[in-house]
Structure 1
């Protein structure tokens, strides 16, 4: 669940001590709170080590007792009562000088309340995983997917169908990480999986648990990492089939009273300062890692977990005072520190991603350095910029400096996953980027048999430029929501009362890029070329790009990263001949990616066999320059000839 507030600005390295302080980052006045968070996390870990045998034992999800409630036990023999502190208790007096409960006895504790029907899944033959987990990828190219919508047919897609039909597509496209949404069981399909009722159950609407295990196992066999979109930020308020009022109170797992309710999400909020809540949530992470062999997590709603105001009505301006003080939920911060420490300690190749828009410093810094410990945060300001500009600006008014600032405005030393659009931009009431660009002509002019109109030309051109510049300049990882790689039409809307329970929009039309007569295949093929080019040159795990040109008049952006030279012309009408661009390394360059290629729906105005020779003359603060022909709304990526 993405909030709509802006990402904070900051760009300094966090790299030093293991005492919870973060030096030389503008946080100097806030060393106290940083150290306090660190100390609190260490105290929790120390207490768990002392009383529970360590994080590994504390977070185990297995249940050793196997007796059922139908083995002759008297379920009503010893009724407990609730004391003044809200705890159920019973006192059993000694009998004949002997304790009422003998040493090493088995005890059953039973809560009696209305319950929802459930199935206990424990087949005699366990699924045998065939493939080991892949190594953590150097570059994370993430394909965000929802199993249920992963078919052109108006229905709920199954795990098996996803395995057979979508996994090969993802592999062919060149993505190496899948982020699976809506897996944790939720009663309301239209909640997009964000109102969890059963934290230890894979959603049965897509099939059996073994089918999900087969999906993950098959992905691993393809070398693809699989992450779970985990929801520990809140829980469904349902009573019959959820945690709410599980023991008859509102505060067994959650904060009691108003603090325990999220006013916008209409859900319950965990009390992260509770020992048993930590056990529940940490063991939940272990369950998904051990039982299903997930490789890590994208933590949903992290902003809500970090702050007592949950990000509601707060436009983070980037002032450090916003990350400290009374508005911070220190228990929530510390829980995330412990969760990340446990995961990276037990599963060194695991990946964790934070959905946070606040820009809290040290979120993606290891606990040993005083940080919260995530591997990546999502760059949530980037898609907001594109939608805002497409709604409010003419193309000629796009600000190249502002675009570059938004794409590079991240905390150096903390890795970011950039994206042009995710599931948030696909939801009903909004539009995909291509829909914003082409609107009604998506229904009339996306066939190659129809006219290549200015609207379609603009739409295809900008769709490719937006995705490539986001991929290459925006972060250390990249994310795409399924279907958006080919410019999925329309929006995403789940069956609900308001739409007559229709599945028409709760699907992904993979038939569109597979049709050679439709222009969607051009965007699909360009996206694939982009992923595989990154696989070869590795710009996502290379140092941040050097931007040498942001020309507002020409609408041209030039930067270098991973030894590649990226040239973008966003001008809506002007093409430039012999355009001079700076480049640091001398040599002969060739084109490795051309958005104007006929294969990608372009006009084929650039000769891809051209060799570009550098001139030993400084230009735009680079040691050399070369000259290119760069048509309107075209991007070129050049590489030294010897690296081809």
Structure 2
């Protein structure tokens, strides 16, 4: 067999690639099954501008590293390409590269759509063909997957959500997961699933955040088509799919992107910019046009070929600043002497313009912990162009507050009111993610103070607070039924806990909260606008009571939310009203079905002409201990 001259690249493709503006490189690079001169085979293309030679090696040539040399393009692109006859789907291969200094290197294909199951490290010739049956979802997505609709996200690690009970060490396949995950998410009322990284990665304890195969669905769970099946099944049930995506760094594994052609090709050569000290990984060189094209093409690939409805972009703060996790004297600076990574900001702006310009009804969500301004503002207005940003400050303040013994909460009252002062500066998502239940931080239920009843009551009211605040929501798997152990990526969730009433009650609470959130327009129509929120009383520190209004487009949808964050039953408590009306309790975390004490307000609450909280009319009601209740105008 020989390597025949062939190319999928036009001159225009090359021009776009080297200028950083080619966003569908997956249609050109990698291994493509084609027919050439009436012969079936595979076209290979790889970027290795500093290599002396690039050969394809695999089972087909007994792993000979010199017999099938690709042809270097005569332009300045640095692309090696060629057609090898009679190589079909399933062929295992690598690139044998002679580096710029003559060093022999073996690399996997950066654009491979399938890889061997780790710890094996070769790429596999494959395709992304699939007969999709989710057109109904895609057609309505622009209307339902938008910022003025409910968005309750269930964050899932596929390897540990559930495992085979008869063989606990075996992770389930994408198809096996679909059988139980889809009906569970549907039953619990979540609107979206967020999958922790499912791109191919070698080191299992990295949870998928150290990627080597950016264009491949992890072979641990099956083929690309089986992942497509899982996504399709979620779509058929009107559940959106967000993928965790990691354009911030990659590992130094020998078969991966690091020193790909013997030089720092994908990463910065200056290790002050190119090495991440916390994660011992390598940072993409966003100043390089071809690298930006690679990354944006990867984002487009998952939205295009896998019908993903959004990307949650990991570790954005680490991309934006050279001094992230570095002492000032150890950090690089930009051309103006500042700490901002200007190449990264350009990349993120290009990314968001590209994906929002190409796909209707998708989201990009930044995990961004700094005070960088305008993360979710449009690019044309000077922002980065993300759809949403994780509200890390809200999450940290909230958990700090709830860890306090209730007797001391009056001294920390405004930890829960402070977030409203900046809640509408960005489009915020409120997250309780996997990061909060690992590394000694304890599970959500054991962050809560008190005896067993109080712990569960605290957690119920915490979730009610979360879902009645402005912003979209994200809850990590297991949090919904008060998993007691910290998350363990090596084992299934503790589903057996649901045989115990407190845990079953917690699950019922989250199911009911999701139903409330999705059915009450006041909780989502103004998620990112001050028009949707108003305090009735933010200052009752003595009793640790908080009262606020959530508003929709119509006055009849107005809700009053009342939180009592002490274990004291508050009887005949006066609440000022937004307007004169009869009110009905529509939700109460203290319901017995939730493992509460059953202290409800079952009668219609009549308005009293008694001034309270600066308002002309008020109602008198009972507030359960460590409870949250929601009132709506009675019909």
- TM-score interval for Structure 1 and Structure 2 normalised by the shorter chain: 0.7 to 0.9
Whole-angstrom distance in 1 between the partners of 2:442 and 2:485: 6
Whole-angstrom distance in 1 between the partners of 2:427 and 2:128: 43
Whole-angstrom distance in 2 between the partners of 1:287 and 1:169: 28
Residues 553-591 of structure 1 show CA distances to partners (whole Å, capped at 9, x for unaligned) of 11111001021000111123x222110111212211111
Q: Is 2:399 aligned against 1:376?
A: no
| Aligned equivalent of 2:116 | none
| Aligned equivalent of 1:20 | none
Whole-angstrom distance in 2 between the partners of 1:520 and 1:404: 26
| Aligned equivalent of 2:373 | 361
Deviation, structure 1 residue 338: 0.8
Q: Which structure is higher in RCO with an 8 Å CA cutoff and minimum separation 6?
A: 1
Contact 2:369 2:392 in 1 (8 A): yes
Q: Is 2:24 aligned against 1:59?
A: yes
Q: 1:136 to 1:255 in 2, by over 3 A?
A: farther
Deviation, structure 1 residue 212: 0.7
Residue of structure 1 aligned with 2:239, choices 204, 207, 224: 224
Residue of structure 2 aligned with 1:159, choices 151, 166, 174: 174
| Aligned equivalent of 1:118 | 122
Q: What are structure 1's unaligned runs of at least 5 residues?
A: 1-46, 91-99, 315-323, 439-453, 495-502
Whole-angstrom distance in 1 between the partners of 2:371 and 2:258: 31
| Aligned equivalent of 1:244 | 258
Q: Which residues of 2 match residues 187-266 of structure 1 at below 5 A?
A: 187-240=202-255, 242-266=256-280
Deviation, structure 1 residue 618: 4.1
Q: Is 2:500 aligned against 1:490?
A: no
Q: Is 2:145 aligned against 1:136?
A: yes
Deviation, structure 1 residue 55: 8.8
| Aligned equivalent of 2:524 | 540
SS at match of 2:287: coil
Aligned positions, number? 534
* TM-score, reference length from structure 1: 0.76
Deviation, structure 1 residue 508: 1.2
| Aligned equivalent of 1:284 | 298
Residue of structure 1 aligned with 2:493, choices 504, 508, 528: 508
| Aligned equivalent of 1:42 | none
Contact 1:547 1:559 in 2 (8 A): yes
SS at match of 1:590: strand
| Aligned equivalent of 1:564 | 559
* TM-score, reference length from structure 2: 0.77
Q: 1:571 to 1:128 in 2, by over 3 A?
A: closer
Residue of structure 1 aligned with 2:617, choices 608, 620, 624: 624
Q: 1:126 to 1:553 in 2, by over 3 A?
A: closer
| Aligned equivalent of 2:117 | none
Residues 218-242 of structure 1 show CA distances to partners (whole Å, capped at 9, x for unaligned) of 11111111011000011111122x1
Q: What are structure 2's unaligned runs of at least 5 residues?
A: 1-11, 55-72, 83-94, 99-104, 109-120, 329-335, 552-557
Whole-angstrom distance in 2 between the partners of 1:115 and 1:528: 47
Contact 2:401 2:415 in 1 (8 A): no
Q: 1:107 to 1:434 in 2, by over 3 A?
A: closer
Contact 1:229 1:298 in 2 (8 A): yes
Deviation, structure 1 residue 429: 1.7
Deviation, structure 1 residue 72: 13
Contact 1:300 1:355 in 2 (8 A): yes
Cα RMSD after superposing both structures: 3.3
Deviation, structure 1 residue 124: 9.6
Q: Which residues of 2 match residues 387-426 of structure 1 at below 5 A?
A: 387-389=399-401, 393-399=404-410, 401-419=413-431, 421-426=432-437
Residues 260-312 of structure 1 show CA distances to partners (whole Å, capped at 9, x for unaligned) of 10011100001111110011001101111111111110000000011111255
Q: 1:244 to 1:55 in 2, by over 3 A?
A: closer
Whole-angstrom distance in 1 between the partners of 2:444 and 2:80: 58
Whole-angstrom distance in 2 between the partners of 1:403 and 1:255: 43
Residues 484-540 of structure 1 show CA distances to partners (whole Å, capped at 9, x for unaligned) of 01111111234xxxxxxxx3xx32123433x3x432110001111111111111313
Whole-angstrom distance in 1 between the partners of 2:548 and 2:598: 23
Q: Which residues of 2 match residues 88-127 of structure 1 at below 5 A?
A: 108=81, 111-112=97-98, 113-115=105-107, 117-122=121-126, 126-127=130-131
Residue of structure 2 aligned with 1:635, choices 595, 604, 628: 628
Whole-angstrom distance in 1 between the partners of 2:606 and 2:517: 23
Q: Is 2:450 aligned against 1:460?
A: no
Contact 1:387 1:433 in 2 (8 A): no
Contact 2:48 2:80 in 1 (8 A): no
Contact 1:307 1:328 in 2 (8 A): yes
Whole-angstrom distance in 2 between the partners of 1:125 and 1:203: 17
Q: 1:54 to 1:256 in 2, by over 3 A?
A: closer
| Aligned equivalent of 2:321 | 307
| Aligned equivalent of 2:587 | 593
